[in-house]
Structure 1
Amino acid sequence: MNICLNLRTLIKLEACVLYVVLWLCLMTVHFQSWIIPKHYHTPESDIALQNYKPRGESENSGHHSNKTAAQIYTGPSNSDVMKWFIHGPKLVQLPQKSRKHPHLMSYDVQKEVCHRGAVHLLIYIHSAPQNGYKRDEIRNTWAGVHNFKEIYVERVFLVGETDDKQVIENVENERKQQDDIILCHFKDSFRNMSLKAIALLDFVNNRCTQAKYILKTDDDIFVDMYALIEKIIPQIMKKPKSIVCERKYNHSIVTDRNSKWYIPPDLLTVTDKGKLPTFCTGYAVLFTSDLVPLLLNASYETPLVQVDDVYMFGFLLKRVPGVNVIDSVNSFTLNQELGMTEYQDRTKPIEHFVVSASEKGTQEKLWQNAIDKVSLFGKEIMNHNLLPYEY
């Protein structure tokens, strides 16, 4: 009798173990078949990354060129690149002033932004409230916060207010889901872009002081981040108060009050002779974070100019002594046709790592081609395990 009972107990135990094993197998299949595909972004990227070889292993250039000899990566390792950021510029916070800022307007930001520890690179993007699809394209491509192995990236969109109630509701839902929107409490318009710039300076100075490098751009711009880090960061990592941008020289002031480029003549001195100060075009600007408190301090004393790039990277920047400026005219372009041709041609290297992407779907196309043409350096720092997925 006891033998029968023990046998039954053993059978039941084996059945339970078998059930648990089958359940785990089914859940694994379910996860791989349903959960992962929901977050999968570009199968083409996954194909491109299959040829990834760790540092030191040979790489065949394949269809990227006519070379048949294996390529050996001899550049800086991922740990070497991390030193560029760890030992990068340090922001010395501008103390809170007792007097009220003449131009700063209130803004709201989610608590998660810049609250996850180190921030090696902060990307801030000017975006109109109705451009939710553009923000999604950017999140899912070049500005993904998990695109690198160890480089910590934070991304924020500066968005103003609108009278469209449906758009307001959409932005609020997006803020709750994404945790990457700074909502500025003023009307979103071209004439208020400089107010966004001041809000960003205040945000970094008071809430993101750990940032090392800052990239400013717009929501219709694509940036090849791997090329940007490879080509630009080494040039500025040991040079404080550095800025990289396409510079504009000797531009005459626009005196037509009906023009969106209008700037009051009384803001210029007699010695300016009707010319604007040299400034950076605002579609893409990379600068070291130690400039933030200096620019913010200058904004207390500088009358507001409605053209934001002229204001922030012209009038404010000229008040900061000893700035190291690198002109990126050969690396940044607003010629979208040129950019698409360059990224799609697999026989030529990428020369412009900042490109206009104003048409819907262009961000994804440029991103896929950038991954397909990524350099050996890019493969060294990219997070090739998680890269094809959305975050």
Structure 2
Amino acid sequence: MNKKELARHVIYSCSTAFRLASTPELIPCSVSVCKLPFSFCSSLTCLTQRGRHYITGCAFAALRDLVWGRHGSPNHSNATSQTEATTTSKNDTTIKSNATSESAALPSAPVDHLDPDRGVAAEVIYESGHVDVNPDICREMGKNVRLLIAITSAPGHESARMAIRHTWGHYGQRRDVAVTFMLGSTANSSIDERIKQEQFVYGDIIRGKFIDTYDNLTLKTISMLEWVDNYCPKANFVLKTDDDMFINVSRLLAFIGRHNPQQRAIYGRLAKKWKPIRSKKSKYYISPRQYKPSLFPDFTTGPAYLLPARLAKELYTAALNHTYFKLEDVFVTGIVANSLKIKRIHATEFLNKRVPLTACSAQKGISIHMIKGPEQYDLWKKLLDGLTKCK
């Protein structure tokens, strides 16, 4: 790893702390940064005080100038240190995406806010691995699992997770179906404690090593792909969905029964010829440096899409080598899948939008979007009643 890569590592690992610190002389940071060879900045050192880790000496602006030039990224007032050339082994460290527990008191920061006009490979900001892994979610690497349902959920959405467990998530009791919730980390200690209690009771939560924010949704999906590759690669299919979705699991099982898990395809609601939004005022803004073409590849929309579990490894590995941005469905099922020549196939049963909450909607569709907790119970009841005859 050369001096520029090392400097970039420090900036991305400590980005939140750099912006919040009242002085650049003592920056809270993760222990991983303290393992770096700091010879690229002669005055940069790491120290530990009362169990917390800090970097000190080399000001943020000096690192910024090394990576992007004098005007490349957010400014910091004090820059004094000169950088020195050095090279080290590429395998010395893994680039981190967030400050870990050592700086957990800090609020999260969107990864691309460091410099929204410049692209960076996902591997620079993604930390591999998971917290408190429960191998029972997918036993024997998914050998007998026809369907793994991976539900992305925010840390504070406990009521949404409970509603799913009490309704369509109950299919997880079947031997051939596994249901899990994908979360990141949170700086809120009370929410974090409740998640630990929730995991103790239900054992169905998977936590990646990233701060759980909207701008990190792509990291969450990358984390899901890594987990599937590590713990459930022998499953037939994986449904990626969100915690505000109603899933007709019975209809989904019938759908996968008609499709071959050996096919290189992703199924869902297909979006064609969508254009990147270039307005910086939009929450969906994508800079030309993040993605230059005027059209995105066809992709399946994020609320719910289905893929063979065996593709998780390919998608995970390839995703790390692409320029990161926050639109996870475009990134994973569009750009990354397209680069791997994985087909994206439109399936009309994937509604992926808000529809009238009728018995027929619940019966005919696989996925309905924007469902609140109480509505999960209502739709579940309508689905189970089976009194309405739909054409």
Q: Provide the TM-score with structure 1 as the length reference.
A: 0.63
Task: From 177, 186, 200, give the equivalent of 2:201.
Answer: 177
1:102 aligns with 2:124: yes
1:131 to 157, 177, 181: 157
In structure 2, give the amino acid aligned to 1:356.
Answer: H
Query: What amino acid does structure 2 have at the position aligned with 1:310?
Result: V
1:223 aligns with 2:247: yes
Query: Number of matched residues?
Result: 267
Counterpart check, 1:342 vs 2:366: no
SS at match of 1:129: coil
After TM superposition, the structure 1 = structure 2 runs for residues 190-269 of structure 1, keeping only pairs within 5 Å, are: 190-230=214-254, 232-237=255-260, 239-269=262-292
Deviation, structure 1 residue 196: 0.6
- Listed one character per residue, the Cα deviations across residues 120-151 of structure 1 (whole Å, up to 9, x for unaligned) are 21110110111111111111211224554xx5
Tell me the residue number matched to 1:378: none
CA contact (8 A) 2:246 2:369 kept: yes
Q: Distance in 1 between matches of 2:185 and 2:317?
A: 26
**Unaligned regions of 5+ residues in structure 1, if any?**
1-96, 345-349, 376-391
Equivalents in 1 of 2:273, 2:149: separation in Å?
Answer: 29
Pairing of 1:77-116 with structure 2 (within 5 A): 100=94, 101-105=123-127, 106-108=129-131, 109-115=133-139
Instruction: Give the match's secondary structure for 2:170.
Output: coil
Rounded to whole Å, the distance in 1 between the matches of 2:332 and 2:253 is: 23
Give the structure 1 partner of residue 148 of structure 2: 122
Question: Could you tell me the TM-score, scaled by structure 2's length?
Answer: 0.63
Of residues 353, 357, 361, the one that matches 2:366 is 353
Q: Which stretches of structure 1, 4 residues or longer, exceed 3 Å deviation after superposition?
A: 97-103, 145-148
Give the conservation status (yes or no) of the 8 Å contact 1:129–1:188: yes
2-structure distance, mates of 1:239, 1:161 = 34
The 8 Å contact of residues 126 and 158 in structure 1, kept in 2 or not, is answered as: yes
Partner residue, 2:298: 278
SS of equivalent to 2:159: helix
Tell me the residue number matched to 1:187: 211
**CA separation of 1:297/1:146 partners in 2, compared to 1, >3 Å: closer, same or farther?**
closer
**Secondary structure of the corresponding residue to residue 273 of structure 2:** coil
Query: Match of 1:386?
Result: none
DSSP 3-state at the match of 1:283: strand
Structure with more contact order per residue of length (Cα contacts < 8 Å, sep ≥ 6): 1
Indicate the structure (1 or 2) with the bigger Cα radius of gyration. Answer: 1
CA shift digits 1:361-388 (9 cap, x unpaired): 111111122122299xxxxxxxxxxxxx
Q: Pick which of 249-258 and 129-138 moved more.
A: 249-258
* 3-state SS in 1 of match to 2:289: helix
Note if contact 2:130-2:207 (Cα within 8 Å) is conserved in structure 1: yes
Residues 181 and 330 of structure 1, relative CA distance in 2, 3 Å threshold = closer
The secondary structure found in structure 2 opposite 1:281 is strand
Question: In the alignment, what sits opposite 1:32?
Answer: none
1:160 to 180, 184, 187: 184
The aligned residue for residue 307 of structure 1 is 327
- The match for 2:27 is none
User: In the alignment, is the contact (CA less than 8 A) between 1:357 and 1:363 conserved in 2?
Assistant: no
Structure 2 residue runs without a partner (length 5+): 1-89, 95-122
Q: Does the 8 Å contact 1:333/1:339 carry over to 2?
A: no
